[in-house]
Amino acid sequence: MTPSIFRRTTLAIALAAASLAAALPAAAQDLKPVRILTNWFAQPDQAGYWQAQQDNLGKESGLKISVLQGGPKIQTVPQVASGQAEFGIGNADDVLLARLRGAPVRAVFAHLDYVPYALVYHADPAVKSVADLQGRTFAVNIGNAYWEWTKKQYKLAGTREIPVSGDLSLFRNDPKMVQQGYSLYLPARMQEAGIPVQSISLASLGYRPYNVLFTTDEMIQKNPALVKATVAAVQKGWANYVRDPSGLKPMLFEMNKQISPAVYDAANKEMIEKLISHDLGKIGCMSDARWSEIAGQLRSVAFLPKDFNEKQAYDRTLVPGC
């Protein structure tokens, strides 16, 4: 082959390769990594995010979504604020308080209509309302906003407060103990342990902060296309999960050995029936009224000042279909 023919052949190959690369879908090219940090070990209330990862959603927009497990030592707000992940999972009340303290985080997607907080107590037909729990021992996150609001709103006097733990033996041995937990898991865990229980959801008492996906102000300002594409991908992930909630079982069981099939099924049932929009195109949508409601509740227990503007803590424009 002569040098001129070699050069022409090499050029033709290079041009063909460049043309092929341009024609390849995003999945075949370098994808932009997007990390979503969860606030606990893998479990069903994070399902749509794991579904987005499992289904490789976002690749058509050039994204590679990776979900990172949280745990007891993980704090999603400071880690997202410091750039250790692009997105984090949290509660709307925590995002409001983070903004107050100067963390530049903002909710962009509400995957559950409310955080499934519950007060769980030994089965007792005499308990008709939260007022009937007066004077009992409460195992709670002491000083947490939801607990301070509940005590004030329902005038729970004479209660003894102890730090909550995952040890069910304290609860088992004290028939007058009330323990906080997620309604998705704690009652089912106790039933499996042979402890008959009842529970009162905080949503039924009026405390209803969204469960949210959040990112930073800088990410929204400098990478709006990435944020919108991520939100669209996780919205589809949640819709896919609702259509087939059993599809994640093998992965979540492998990652979190504490979830039994019965607990998994109970959590899925409650989430799909009560916590996720039945209009799959509306999953993730938020309202100003709900944010105003939770901000008002935080003000009522002096967690937020009167002049705090809750609208700085969320962006409703990024979820398609809202």
pLDDT for the residue numbered 29: 59
Cross-strand bridge partners of residue 87: 36
In a domain, residue 91? The reply is yes
What CATH number should be reported for the domain holding residue 267? 3.40.190.10
pLDDT at 98 over 60: yes
Query: Is 3 a member of any domain?
Result: no
Q: Single out the residue in 163, 180, 205 at which a domain terminates.
A: 205
Take residue 127 and report the two structure tokens written for it.
């308990």
Higher pLDDT, 155 or 24: 155
Q: Is residue 7 part of a domain?
A: no
Whether residue 146 contacts residue 80, with contact meaning beta carbons closer than 8 Å, is answered with no
pLDDT digits (tens, 9 = 90+) for 254-293: 999 888 998 999 999 999 999 999 999 999 999 999 999 9
Whether the predicted pLDDT of 191 surpasses 50: yes
Angstrom distance (rounded) from CA 101 to CA 104: 9
3-class DSSP assignment, residue 158? coil
CA distance 118 to 153: 16
- Tell me whether residue 198 is in a domain: yes
- Tell me which H or E stretch contains 234: helix 224-243
Give the span between the Cα atoms of 232 and 61, in whole angstroms.
Answer: 10
Residue 16 has pLDDT above 90, yes or no: no
Say if residue 301 is in the same domain as residue 314. Answer: yes
Of the candidates 205, 231, 264, which is a domain's last residue? 205
pLDDT mean over 35-50: 97
**Which residues span the domain enclosing 177?**
117-205
Residue tagged 């707000």 (tokens): 77
Total domains in the chain come to 2
What predicted TM-score, i.e. pTM, was given to this entire model?
0.89
- For the chain, helix, strand, coil in percent to 5 are 50, 20, 35
pLDDT tens, residue by residue, 110-169: 999 999 999 999 999 999 999 999 999 999 999 999 999 999 999 998 899 999 987 899
97 & 122 share domain? no
Same domain, 123 and 180: yes
The tens digit of pLDDT for each residue in 202-211 reads 999 999 999 9
